[in-house]
């Protein structure tokens, strides 16, 4: 379900946002660096939101990701 306060984006943007995390995760796992992913949570979420053009102020309250600073 789309959030009413977030901007409309083309459906391919959701695929791109997922690919952003998938690609980063896959590279870390393949390089035996999966332990780094926990530290990248904030950057991964921010990257997905940037692809979806969601303003940080609109996302902060909705996401409530521990450790995510906005």
User: Consecutive sets of 10 residues in the chain, 70 residues long: mean pLDDT of each?
Assistant: 76 91 95 94 89 76 57
Asked if residue 25 belongs to a domain, the reply is yes
Separation between Cα atoms, residue 41 and residue 13, nearest integer Å: 20
Asked if residue 17 belongs to a domain, the reply is yes
Asked if residue 61 belongs to a domain, the reply is no
DSSP-derived secondary structure letter, 53: T
Asked if residue 70 belongs to a domain, the reply is no
Give the pLDDT of residue 61: 60
Asked if residue 47 belongs to a domain, the reply is yes
Residue 18's domain comprises: 12-54
Give the pLDDT of residue 6: 78
Separation between Cα atoms, residue 3 and residue 59, nearest integer Å: 10
Asked if residue 32 belongs to a domain, the reply is yes
Asked if residue 19 belongs to a domain, the reply is yes
- Contact assessment for residue 14 and residue 52, using Cβ atoms and an 8 Å cutoff: yes
Domain count, the chain: 1
Asked if residue 69 belongs to a domain, the reply is no
DSSP-derived secondary structure letter, 6: S
Give the pLDDT of residue 10: 87
From start to end of 1-70, where are the E strands?
A: none
């Amino acid at each position: 379900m789309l959030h009413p306060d977030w901007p409309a984006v083309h459906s391919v943007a959701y695929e791109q946002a997922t690919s952003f995390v998938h690609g980063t995760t896959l590279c870390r796992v393949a390089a035996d660096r999966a332990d780094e992913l926990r530290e990248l949570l904030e950057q991964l979420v921010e990257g997905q939101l940037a692809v979806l053009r969601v303003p940080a102020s609109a996302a902060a309250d909705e996401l409530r990701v521990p450790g995510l600073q906005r």
